[in-house]
Structure 1
Amino acid sequence: MHTLLIALFGSFLVSTGTGWETDFSKAQQSAQSEHKLILLNFSGSDWCGPCIRMHKEIFEKNSFSDYATDHLVLVNADFPRLKKHELSKGQQEKNDKLASRYDIDGVFPLTVLLTADGKILKEWKGFPSVSSEEFTNQVKAVVDANK
């Protein structure tokens, strides 16, 4: 039983990606207290091919994750379709509220760089046509301009 719980917890960490917050209010508090910007990503983790690619080819690469650890608060607003990945009602409501504010066109993936108070600084619609390193440089340029 103990091994099963460890395996389940480990797969949860892999599937959600360590370092990603799902509560935007908590992310705002962290960003405020740590003087960081928020990177909000809207994804469909079990149906959106470009979203899955974005996490694997951009966010999970060291060039991005190393930078993000020190400079960003990461938020994932996931919209899975499969019943087995269904979010809690509360989480779905939080994600819907974020989408009504930042992703009204329903673009997936959509990545938004925000101030702690929610002001949009930059958006990336769809899968970026750049490497993880170049994407990180684009984020860094906005972070540096807002210090």
Structure 2
Amino acid sequence: MRFIALCLFALFTVFGAQAQSTAPTWTTDLNAALQEAKATNKPVLAVFSGSDWCKPCIMLKQEVFDQPEFAEYAKDKLVLARFDFPRSKKNKLSAEQTKQNEQAAAQFNKEGAFPLVVLLSPEGKVLAKTGYRPGGPAAYDAYLTQLLAKR
């Protein structure tokens, strides 16, 4: 019985590690995102969100960005950057992170729109702006592909 339990534990550990490795890597530093974009010649997908108060932001994250299909799509095509503006005290960011997010917003989200998804060239030029769109990761990936094809 212990042997079976040990085998199951090992199996879940391996599959759990594989599932975690498919999660996309998001940066919270605009300069680092642009440097990576230049080095890899990929556009930056910059997301401005209110993770604990903006319903469309939460839906976009859950329905698209947290899905393995999006991770697979973004892996070789995009540099991912997230700039969050939570309101709850329990989700409060560090002063340094808040400053970085505000600087990114001053450059690319002057309107204060949430959610706002901005596609940037590796040089930091705005290629397109969009937001939440229903339809899940496949529809969103197709839409991003259309936007990038116009650049």
Q: Structure 2 length normalisation: TM-score?
A: 0.79
Where in structure 2 are there 5+ consecutive unaligned residues? 1-19
Kindly name which structure, 1 or 2, has the bigger radius of gyration based on alpha carbons. 2
Misfit runs of 4+, over 6 Å:
none
Provide the rounded CA distance (Å) in 2 between the counterparts of 1:92 and 1:18: 22
**What letter is aligned with 1:132?**
P
Match of 1:113 in 2: 119
Pairing partner for 1:19 from 17, 25, 29: 25
Where in structure 1 are there 5+ consecutive unaligned residues? 1-13
Provide the rounded CA distance (Å) in 1 between the counterparts of 2:147 and 2:50: 26
Give the alignment of 1:2-13 within 5 angstroms. Answer: none
2:129 alignment partner, SS class: strand
1:129 alignment partner, SS class: coil
Provide the rounded CA distance (Å) in 2 between the counterparts of 1:50 and 1:140: 21
Match of 1:68 in 2: 74
Q: Structure 1 length normalisation: TM-score?
A: 0.81
- Asked if 1:55 corresponds to 2:44, the answer is no
Provide the rounded CA distance (Å) in 1 between the counterparts of 2:93 and 2:144: 29
Give the alignment of 1:95-110 within 5 angstroms. Answer: 95-110=101-116
1:71 alignment partner, SS class: coil
Paired positions, count = 130
Provide the rounded CA distance (Å) in 2 between the counterparts of 1:102 and 1:68: 21
Provide the rounded CA distance (Å) in 1 between the counterparts of 2:136 and 2:120: 21
Match of 1:5 in 2: none
Asked if the contact 2:127–2:148 (Cα under 8 Å) also holds between the matched residues in 1, the reply is no
Provide the rounded CA distance (Å) in 1 between the counterparts of 2:126 and 2:135: 21
Match of 1:84 in 2: 90
Provide the rounded CA distance (Å) in 2 between the counterparts of 1:26 and 1:102: 16
Asked if the contact 2:46–2:82 (Cα under 8 Å) also holds between the matched residues in 1, the reply is yes
Cα RMSD between the aligned structures?
A: 1.8
Match of 1:132 in 2: 137
**What letter is aligned with 2:106?**
S
2:52 alignment partner, SS class: coil
For residues 96-134 of structure 1, the C-alpha deviation after alignment (integer angstroms, 9 at most, x for no partner) is: 111111111111100011111111111113x21343212
**What letter is aligned with 1:139?**
L
Provide the rounded CA distance (Å) in 2 between the counterparts of 1:37 and 1:142: 11
Compute the displacement of 1:41 (Å). Answer: 0.3
